[in-house]
């Protein structure tokens, strides 16, 4: 499957910034054009939130972050890009003009997606010389966490463009859904607009406050929708007789005058002020950035829960996350790590992000174990114990660990880990990892591990196959010439 090799984002606001973060964290270089004087700051803040969210979302090895480049012209931004995402303000004349300009200077085979939340792609592609490559790619905020993209073609959009766009979203952890017929506002926003219209009437008529209305959603059907959507939820509501029974029982209610979906509320100054005041009270002083971070943490928790659903197979967006992680692990397993036999293996490069620190700004204890675990995983992939090997029912399990904290890893600090193999036999692998400050080289922590080769199906330790042992022994033989690391064999509380 061919993925996106270089992206261009035209517009770096809330949605454009989310696209930028999604691409960058998938290892894709991104050119940005946005004439807004604060564009760099806005994108930087969105990216910081995205990196914090990803640190909580997955332990799979992300590719090296893509290179972010702010360009002074649109032509410079789209040069060389094979996916161009337009996210300028929602005005037909503006979007049409920008997309037509993109079309004139982009690579002939570049795909051009618009983030519009409701404009018709046929109207957007009207003046383009190559309209067949224009489609709507409508995401949901935050783009770096919510995986759905509505893919909508116009009258002149080619079938090949739709198919290619759907395929290229998969490697960045997103799910494209093809909307079969062109329609204003597509599917998601039409559903949201119906709910929003009724919500405005409920506030207008003083039935409830904005906080009460939000509570009704987030403590009830919002939780159901997060994992099962609308129709499957109602199928269950029909009991053993299923959807047909539900429709027969509750269908007549549609004729009752419960809602005002066909009436448009007058958003006059009084209603705007009422909603604004209640919204300020609901926020309780939290800034937009703080609310975004809370939102991200909640979404990560839901996605993680869904990842473990359905007997561990994953469910809905959680299964998509699980599949995305498996692709990350598989890609990491294909990476070839060369090593200097005169030095320990340098296996993990990372940075201490906001999600990794405690109230003192120092890396929390369990993150040290995570980095050392990632180091062991990187070693195992190097010797052939990759995702396919594990799925076949064999792996190395860590049975003993001793971590020493020698220094302090702090927020924003670049760190890396090294691994020295101390000994190996048919079943055991004895390793010593060290965590370093990348700038100074200072040792911040060390971890000594004993791993056993296990047949997970049989539930017992078994000899590793020759193809694995040969690889690990070649490294161990080289490491036998290294000086034994300080701290090998220490026990807890042992005096220096």
Binding-site entries: 11-16
Residue 420 and residue 494: Cα distance in Å, rounded?
22
Distance CA 237, CA 63 (A): 43
How far is 435 from 406, CA to CA, in rounded Å? 9
Q: Give the C-alpha separation, 17 to 450, whole Å.
A: 44
Residues flagged as binding site for NAD(+): 11-16
DSSP state of 344: -
Spatial contact of 362 and 352, defined as CB atoms under 8 Å apart: no
Residue 30 in contact with residue 122, Cβ under 8 Å? Answer: no
Burial 137-157 (b: 16+ CB within 10 A, else e): bbbbebbbbbbbbbbbbbebb
Q: Who's near 217: CB < 8 A, 6+ residues apart?
A: none
Q: What separation in angstroms does the CA of 294 have from each of 183, 299, 300?
A: 34, 9, 10
User: CA–CA distance from 120 to each of 15, 49, 96, 102, 175 (Å)?
Assistant: 18, 31, 11, 18, 21
Which one, of 5, 6, 12, 4, lies nearest residue 32 by Cα?
A: 12
Do 160 and 208 meet the contact criterion of CB atoms below 8 Å apart?
A: no
Residues in Cβ contact with 379 at an 8 Å cutoff, skipping those fewer than 6 apart: 345, 347, 419, 421, 431
What is the C-alpha separation between 293 and 305, in angstroms, rounded?
Answer: 18
Q: Please state, in angstroms and rounded to a whole number, the distance separating the CA atoms of residues 479 and 434.
A: 14
Rounded Cα distance between 435 and 410, Å, is 13
Whether the Cβ atoms of residue 24 and residue 66 lie closer than 8 Å to each other: yes
């Amino acid at each position: 499957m061919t993925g996106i090799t270089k992206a261009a984002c035209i517009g770096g606001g809330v949605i454009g910034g989310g696209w930028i973060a999604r691409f960058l964290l998938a290892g894709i270089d991104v050119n940005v054009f946005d004439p807004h004087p604060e564009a760099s700051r806005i994108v930087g803040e969105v990216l910081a939130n995205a990196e914090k969210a990803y640190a909580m979302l997955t332990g799979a090895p992300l590719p090296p972050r893509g290179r972010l480049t702010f360009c002074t012209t649109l032509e410079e931004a789209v040069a060389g890009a094979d996916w161009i995402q337009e996210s300028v303000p929602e005005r037909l004349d503006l979007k049409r003009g920008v997309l037509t300009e993109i079309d004139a200077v982009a690579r002939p085979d570049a795909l051009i997606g618009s983030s519009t939340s409701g404009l018709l792609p046929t109207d957007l592609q009207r003046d383009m010389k190559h309209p067949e490559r224009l489609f709507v790619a409508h995401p949901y905020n935050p783009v770096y966490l919510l995986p759905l993209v509505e893919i909508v073609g116009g009258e002149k959009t080619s079938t090949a463009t739709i198919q290619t766009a759907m395929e290229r979203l998969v490697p960045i952890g997103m799910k494209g859904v093809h909307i079969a017929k062109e329609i204003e506002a597509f599917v998601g926003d039409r559903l949201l607009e119906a709910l929003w219209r009724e919500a405005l009437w409920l506030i207008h008529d003083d039935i409830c406050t904005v906080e009460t209305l939000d509570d009704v959603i987030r403590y009830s059907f919002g939780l159901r929708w997060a994992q099962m959507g609308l129709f499957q939820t109602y199928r269950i509501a029909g009991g053993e007789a299923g959807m047909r029974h539900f429709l027969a029982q509750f269908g007549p209610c549609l004729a009752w005058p419960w809602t005002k979906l066909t009436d448009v509320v007058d958003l006059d100054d009084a209603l705007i002020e009422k909603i604004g005041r209640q919204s300020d009270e609901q926020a309780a002083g939290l800034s937009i950035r703080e609310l975004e971070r809370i939102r991200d943490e909640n979404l990560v928790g839901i996605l993680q829960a869904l990842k473990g659903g359905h007997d561990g197979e994953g469910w809905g967006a959680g299964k998509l996350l699980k599949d995305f992680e498996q692709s990350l692990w598989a890609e990491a397993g294909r990476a070839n790590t060369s090593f200097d036999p005169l030095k320990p293996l340098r296996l993990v490069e990372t940075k201490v992000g906001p999600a990794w620190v405690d109230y003192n700004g120092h890396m929390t204890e369990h993150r040290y174990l995570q980095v050392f675990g990632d180091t062991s995983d990187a070693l195992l992939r190097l010797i052939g114990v990759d995702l396919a090997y594990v799925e076949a029912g064999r792996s190395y399990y860590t049975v003993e660990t001793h971590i020493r904290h020698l220094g302090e890893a702090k927020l924003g600090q670049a760190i890396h880990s090294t691994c020295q193999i101390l000994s190996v036999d048919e079943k055991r692998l004895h390793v010593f990892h060290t965590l370093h400050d990348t700038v100074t080289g200072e040792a911040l922590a060390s971890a000594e591990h004993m791993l056993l080769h296990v047949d997970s199906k049989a539930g017992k330790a078994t000899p590793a196959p020759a193809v694995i042992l040969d690889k690990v022994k070649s490294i161990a033989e080289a490491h036998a010439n290294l000086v034994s690391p300080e701290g090998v064999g220490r026990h807890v509380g042992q005096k220096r």
